[in-house]
Amino acid sequence: MQVIDFATVEDLEGVIVSAFGDPGLEDLASRLLVPVVGIAQSGMQAAAAGGRRYSVVTTTPDLVGAIQRKAKMLGLGPQLASIRLTSGDLAETMTHPDLLSDRLGAAVEEAVRLDGASAIVIGGGPLAEAAKSLENRVSVPLIEPVPEAVRSLRARI
């Protein structure tokens, strides 16, 4: 495996860690001379703006621990109302776009109604299309993490 020293790439202006949970973000940030942001970090910070309680809605049970750790590390743990997972079989959910949208929508509604979330972060870049389909059905801000990371990185550059 070849290791690339990104700090020597002349045209590099910044880096986005585009895996929810931001694996390796801190290590990259400590090694690079350019800003490094993550999609979980950016989404959570946007959702928690102004002291809002927020929830993360995702499809992947394996992300729960990483989401909790990230919220705590960012100082946003107390504002995290919940982490909601879609119901049903994960492979089936991800294979059918309409089913994904319906299941994400149900989890979002529960986060708002049962957990008191004032904003929702959709936990994962591959969920962006489904998130777009929910925008008109949700009564609170729905945060897509990839565009938030782009906004965050642009602000730092």
Each residue of 82-140: pLDDT tens digit? 999 999 999 999 999 999 999 999 999 999 999 999 999 999 888 888 888 898 888 99
Alpha helix (H) residue ranges in the chain: 25-31, 39-47, 64-73, 90-95, 97-113, 128-134, 145-156
pLDDT at 137: 87
DSSP string, 10-31: TT---EEE-STT-TTHHHHHHH
Indicate the DSSP class of residue 4: P
- 125 closest CA partner among 140, 144, 106: 144
| Distance in angstroms between the alpha carbons of the first and the last residue of the chain | 30
Taking residues 23-33, report their average pLDDT. 92
pLDDT at 69: 95
Residue 68 burial class via C-beta count within 10 angstroms: exposed 0-12, middle 13-18, buried 19 and up: middle
